[in-house]
Chains A and B, each alone.
Chain A
Amino acid sequence: MKFHHYIYLIFIFSFIASCEKDDICAESTATTPQLVITFKDADNTTESKPVESLGIYALKDNQLILIESINGINTDSIAIPLRNDISISDFKFYKNYSLIDEVILGEENHIHLDYSIEEVFVSRACGFINNYNDLSVFNYDPNVFGPPTGTWISGYEIINSIVENENQAHVKIFH
């Protein structure tokens, strides 16, 4: 082969190689992480203690939105999405949850989360994801006047105040 034949070959391969990548966000791409919570025994804080029939609602603009994956399950660890448009999230955690004729039954506990949002550039196809820093947890609704009360949750501990992956728990909840 002559010299310029090699050049043609390099060009052909380069064009094939450059066409390989697509502008669709791959499913394997790390998405915005969720908050990972583990439930522990209030009397023995190292022991896991599952919550009986846990149901969680997100509270947005006075509307309750059920988290579809947590709708009355027995579990000692969960992952919940945090609100991205503002840097606070409110949730209603229900123990012994059930929904009968659109009426929520069970023991309610308000959880209020406060954090700062950090936008992280991922790629052209996926854009940005959010990470969350300076996480703090309130075991009651700070917007309700009167002494703070939780019902079935006795306390919490923040293990990791930076939420950038779901590899380990960020918050322990004692009950």
Chain B
Amino acid sequence: MLKYFTKILFVFIIPVFTFSQESTVANDSIKYEQKYGLRVGFDLFKIYSDGFEINADYRLSNKLYIASEIGLSEKTIDENYLNFTYKGTYIKTGIDYNMHTNWLDMQNMIFSGIRVGYSMFDQTINNYTIYDTNSQTWGQSIINIPISNTNLSSLWVELIIGIKAEILNNLFLGFNLEVKKMIDSGSKNNIQNLHIPGFNKTYEGSSFGVGFGYKISYLIPIIKK
């Protein structure tokens, strides 16, 4: 848990520094232009955690962006009574709304967004120990025959809040939090989908999930308004 807090702290602090580095010289006589275009990037936190994610957004209006993420995940997790591997791809699509009113020609964002997420993946329980509190007589039973659930698919929606700061011309660094609500987890063989690419960890008896993003993206300007 402590490891998680330091992770969170780390991603919180860096955008603060980057914000403070901005210095724009104001010039009254210029009419400030906002850039419209396609912004593409990838997620640093995702590389650190379990895979790779490419993200893109396109500015529709002053406040509104259409946004999408595509990613792949693969990881083996060792729990007390079981060891499992998840592997798959996901896509998320939705909109971002910029709540921040920019000064001058700055393009920073404090945004909230919504996404619809869909993942196709496999989950394999590699080995497991039969949970038996009376095992002192016969000994613990460890099963090494994997249980594979393949071609699984899950559908969810998520709410996002985050910031994106322009640290260099057209280069953005962003941090965001995600809260996810499962619509259909598509589990098989009465085995819970323990970790879903894009949705992340699932919780027993709850359809909610959480996520973090720490994203670098580059804006390809198409028009200026």
Interface residues of A (CB under 8 A from B): 4, 7-8, 10-11, 14-15, 17-19, 21, 23-25, 29, 31-32, 34, 58, 60, 65, 67-68, 80-85, 89, 119-130
Contact = CB atoms under 8 A, between A and B. Distances in A.
B177 interface: yes
A174 B134 CA distance: 26
B135 A81 contact: yes
A33 to B, nearest CB: 9
B130 A121 contact: no
B29 interface: no
B26 interface: no
Contacts of B210: 14-15, 18
B141 A85 contact: yes
Contacts, number: 117
A19 B132 CA distance: 26
Given A4-B112, A83-B138, A130 B132 contact: yes
B16 to A, nearest CB: 17
B23 interface: no
Contacts of A34: 134
Contact of A8 (B80, B139, B161): B161
A7 B112 contact: yes
A170 to B, nearest CB: 15
A18 B208 contact: yes
Given A10-B179, A80-B137, A123-B192, 19 more contacts: A11-B161, A21-B203, A21-B204, A23-B80, A29-B131, A31-B133, A31-B134, A60-B138, A81-B132, A82-B138, A83-B138, A84-B141, A119-B143, A124-B204, A125-B79, A125-B80, A127-B79, A127-B130, A128-B143
A82 B110 CA distance: 59
Interface in B126-181: 128-139, 141, 143, 159, 161, 177, 179
27 contacts: A4-B161, A10-B159, A14-B208, A15-B210, A17-B206, A18-B208, A18-B209, A21-B203, A21-B204, A21-B205, A24-B80, A31-B131, A58-B138, A65-B137, A68-B136, A80-B137, A81-B135, A84-B138, A85-B141, A119-B130, A124-B192, A124-B194, A127-B82, A127-B130, A128-B81, A128-B82, A129-B130
Contacts of A29: 131
B191 A121 contact: yes
B177 A11 contact: yes
A149 to B, nearest CB: 25
Which residue among B81, B136, B189, B209 has the maximum number of chain A CB atoms within 10 Å of its CB?
B81
Contact of B190 (A67, A80, A120): A120
A124 B141 contact: no
B47 interface: no
7 closest A-B pairs by beta carbon, nearest first, are A127-B81, A84-B141, A32-B132, A81-B134, A127-B82, A31-B133, A14-B179
A142 to B, nearest CB: 19
Residue from B128, B141, B194, B209 having most chain A Cβ neighbours under 10 A: B141
Contacts of B179: 10-11, 14-15
Contacts of B82: 124, 127-128
Contacts of B99: 4
Contacts of B81: 25, 125-128
Nearest to A23: B79
Contacts of A67: 137
Nearest to A32: B132
A17 B203 CA distance: 10
A80 B83 CA distance: 29
Contacts of A17: 206, 208
